[in-house]
Amino acid sequence: MKNLVIFLVVMGVAGGFGFVSADEGGPDMFGHFWQDSNPGPVVEPYSWIEISLQAGGTGGELGNLTNRDDALQRTSIGFSFDYYGNTFTDVIVSTNGFLTFYSSTGGLYNNQTLPNAPAPDSVVAPFWDDLDLAQNPTTARVYFKTLGIAPDRMFVVEWYDVPHIMDGSSRFTFQSIFYESPGEDDIKFQYFSMVDGNSLFADGRSASVGLENLDGTDGLEYSFGTWGGGGETSSSRVLRPIFDGLAIRFTADFLCLNHGDVNFNGSITSRDAQSAFWIALGTITPTPSEECAADCNGDGMVTQADAQQIFGTIFGGPLCVDTPQDLLYVNQ
């Protein structure tokens, strides 16, 4: 009873929500989530895989894209890849910073929000924008390579030194990685060097980043920048900027971690209980990881009983279910 009284007092008078938003998103209707390399409960590591010949890699050049604008080339993935419940063994690569599994207009430069019913559909977009390899014929290339051993292979496509059509001196190097695994496979985007020239496009303010299913009715968008007449005007927006060293992973395998540590700081305090309390009341909208962490008793929902149990652990009460061993300490 004493702990319950203290709990109600703390929830009623503590200042602020004590809530730290996780850097993740989703799900879409299929069940994909995204997680990136920014600080959060699940940090996707950045680990660049170099395949460009110019930088010492051993990838194959997609020659039909070299010195071209709005061009396409189909290539083999090297393994069976599952995407929104369908299996593919090859993919179409566009000069404009995206891939598609089948589309008659896959070279489109005018990027869209994701998902979006008009073609191209089945889009995998690490940096869909109006890119033009012809503006840098010396070094701009697109490479591909399948790495690893079954059943853990990777298919990598790297856009190397590719400029924006409205800024010929810009140079963008980024990649998309398909991971082979049973069931729905994962996709990762990485950004090695995003360098502007005379305008501002490198942060993705005019690009689309995300996934889309085969008919454009489902998808998961990481960011969408509205083009603002050169990319640098006030009408442009970047929901989540792209930058060197960023990694974004799209997965249908959601990891539920850190039950009780709602704020993901390595300890359980009254502020975690407070966050769970506000989630239970619907005062704040949690990310999937935060909602999972707040479900202390593991019954699939967040109620005030979860908040009370989290608070009780501070005084030696039962720990939340499946609390990982690497939780640093329970703060007294």
State whether 109 and 123 are in the same domain.
yes
Q: What is the pLDDT along the chain (332 residues), one digit of tens a residue?
A: 544 444 444 454 444 443 334 477 888 888 888 989 987 666 799 999 999 999 999 999 999 999 999 999 999 999 999 999 899 999 999 999 999 998 666 568 889 999 998 889 999 999 999 999 999 999 999 999 999 999 999 999 999 999 999 999 999 999 999 999 866 689 999 999 999 999 999 999 999 999 999 999 999 999 998 543 333 433 444 568 999 999 999 998 765 666 788 877 778 899 989 999 999 999 888 877 788 888 988 888 899 999 999 989 888 888 888 644 333 223 32
Report how far Cα 136 is from the mean position of its chain's Cα atoms.
29
Residue 265: count of CB within 10 angstroms of its CB: 14
Alpha-carbon torsion 6, 12, 14, 19, what sign? positive
Task: Tell me which of 251, 272, 295 is where a domain ends.
Answer: 251
State whether 264 and 231 are in the same domain.
no
| Strand runs labelled E in 84-218 | 86-94, 99-100, 123-128, 141-147, 154-164, 167-179, 187-195, 208-212
State whether 54 and 66 are in the same domain.
yes
State whether 176 and 291 are in the same domain.
no
CA dist 285 and 78 (Å) reads 41
The answer for residues whose C-beta is within 8 angstroms of residue 138's C-beta and 6 or more apart is none
Model confidence pLDDT, tens digit, residues 8-24: 444 544 444 433 344 77
Task: Tell me which of 217, 234, 251 is where a domain ends.
Answer: 251
- The one-letter code for the residue type at 275 is S
What is the pTM assigned to this prediction?
Answer: 0.78
What residues make up the domain containing 205? Answer: 28-251
Of the candidates 258, 253, 332, the one whose C-alpha atom is nearest the C-alpha of residue 295 is 258
Tell me the angle at which helices 270-281 and 304-313 cross, rounded to the nearest 10 degrees. Answer: 180
State whether 247 and 272 are in the same domain.
no
Which alpha helices (H) appear in the chain, and where do they start and end? 2-13, 270-281, 288-294, 304-313
Of the candidates 287, 283, 126, the one whose C-alpha atom is nearest the C-alpha of residue 211 is 126
